Amino acid sequence: MSDILAKYGPLAARRQALLGSGGRDPFQLRIDRLLSPTRALIDGRETILLGTNNYLGLTFDPEAIEAGREALARFGTGTTGSRIANGTYGLHRELEQAFARFLDRRDCIVFTTGYQANLGMIAGLAGPRDTILVDADSHASIYDGCRLSGARVIRFRHNDAEDLDRRLARLERPEDGAVLVVVEGLYSMLGDVAPLAELVEVKRRHGAFLLVDEAHSFGVYGAHGRGLAEHCGVEAEVDFVAGTFSKSLGAVGGFGASDHPHFGLLRYAARPYMFTASPSPATMASVLRILARIEAEPELRTRLWANAHRLHAGLRELGFSLGAEPSPVAAVVLADERQAVWAWNLLLEHGVYVNLALPPGTPGRRSLLRASVSAAHTPAEIDAALARFAEVARRLTAAT
């Protein structure tokens, strides 16, 4: 009988090769202490955090921390139950109502993590008689949700409305089956955005439903921060929206929202909602506070976008190839995995943390240094990080 973990032999070999090139495991990085939303101690060194998805920089908001502390004291450390048993507190309903109001949707459901929000939304909406058309570059949680649904799943070319149109046109539909199109707002690896106006036109023509995952675009796009659909003026055509608390909202959790009159039935059908403990009271309380700040302070987005443009322009000036037009995510495309690991280590040794993203988790099998900015970065921090990137560029040029 073979070892149950023997199948991971190639993975172990690849990990060994990664360690060999830098000595540090990029996927087991330990942050020793957070100094602020943009600074941390790593290996005893003060490091600029440029890869946290903390887009609005609100993780240390004093009122959110105080609200979380108060909820801890009043409701305890955890709910010890699922939403359908003893895990729904007034706070959970209050937050759902606050989201529904903010998003201008009839109803909202809160999930325990962003991953589970996509799982719960997709597997709750689609079933074995249905078909899901999924953007090729979708996040793993979307693919996993598709699998959990039991629906027939067809992948269309990333951000390609014509390809979606072609595939919808040749679809054979059982009479009792619906079609769900799933896309993201801002794609987190390359920092590109979905052409929502075009996608909406196609889905409308084919009578499909549309779910947009605004995980990375909520709080970032739109006049009110509701996401890319608001920015594109197509919210009324988006049937379902999903999102996470772990980016702009600075916590852990997720949500789904809709105007569909029967959307609430997902509470009785979506397994990732039903069979997991509900989010902690402290999380609910802090997110309520952060949501109010997003609503009241559009200047947070103004600062975020100024930083995004500063970083993007600086990286372009240094000659780096970037994954997309300016957005809060700037993906530096490097030649191969080895070069990316080397550059990632060099930046870290010089006090800058970015995300290392390698195939197969990246579009087009590219090796990326994924930087993301926050409203909390100062221009001086962005410039300091760019100075370190300049050192990477200098050494790359010297090596060729």
Among 12, 35, 136, 269, binds another protein (CB under 8 A): 136
Question: Which strands, in side-by-side order, build the sheet including 355-357?
Answer: 321-322, 329-334, 367-372, 355-357
Which of 92, 48, 130 lies closest to 277 in space, CA to CA?
92
| Closer residue to another protein in complex, CB, 69/365 | 365
Q: Which residue has the tokens 């039935």?
A: 265
- Least Å distance, CB 148 to another protein, is 12
DSSP states of 324-393 = SSSSSEEEEEESSHHHHHHHHHHHHHTTEE-EEE-TTSSGGG-EEEEEE--TT--HHHHHHHHHHHHHHH
Cite the active site residues. Answer: 188, 216, 247
| Closer residue to another protein in complex, CB, 23/360 | 360
Strand partners, 34: 40
Report the number of secondary-structure helices (H) and strands (E) in the chain. 13, 15
What is the Cα–Cα distance from 280 to 113, expressed in whole angstroms? 11
Among 139, 152, 231, 247, binds another protein (CB under 8 A): 152
Binding of another protein at residue 153 (CB under 8 A)? yes
SS3 293: helix
Assess contact for 122 and 211: CB atoms under 8 A. Answer: yes
Binding of another protein at residue 359 (CB under 8 A)? yes
**Window contacting another protein (CB under 8 A); options: 151-159, 239-247, 252-260, 370-378:** 151-159
- Least Å distance, CB 187 to another protein, is 15
Which of 361, 366, 369, 359 lies closest to 393 in space, CA to CA?
369
Which of 34, 51, 50 lies closest to 42 in space, CA to CA?
34
DSSP states of 243-292 = EESSSTT-SS-EEEEE--TTGGGGGGT-HHHHSSBPPPHHHHHHHHHHHH
**Window contacting another protein (CB under 8 A); options: 36-44, 154-162, 197-205, 250-258:** 154-162
Among 83, 92, 105, 167, binds another protein (CB under 8 A): 167
Binding of another protein at residue 154 (CB under 8 A)? yes
| Closer residue to another protein in complex, CB, 359/379 | 359
Binding of another protein at residue 365 (CB under 8 A)? yes
Binding of another protein at residue 233 (CB under 8 A)? no
With contacts defined by CB under 8 A, how many residues of the chain interact with another protein? Answer: 17
Angle between helical axes of 299-317 and 379-399 (0-180°, round to 10)? 20
Binding of another protein at residue 333 (CB under 8 A)? no
What is the Cα–Cα distance from 104 to 134, expressed in whole angstroms? 26
**Window contacting another protein (CB under 8 A); options: 117-125, 164-172, 187-195, 335-343:** 164-172
- Least Å distance, CB 166 to another protein, is 8
- Least Å distance, CB 130 to another protein, is 12
Among 146, 287, 352, 385, binds another protein (CB under 8 A): 146
**E strand or H helix at 179:** strand 179-184
List the interface residues with another protein, window 3-32 (CB under 8 A): 10
| Closer residue to another protein in complex, CB, 153/340 | 153
- Least Å distance, CB 307 to another protein, is 31
Binding of another protein at residue 171 (CB under 8 A)? yes
* Sign of the alpha-carbon dihedral angle for 144, 275, 81, 294: positive
- Least Å distance, CB 370 to another protein, is 17
Which residues bind to another protein, rule: CB under 8 A? 10, 136, 143, 146-147, 152-155, 157, 167, 170-171, 359-361, 365
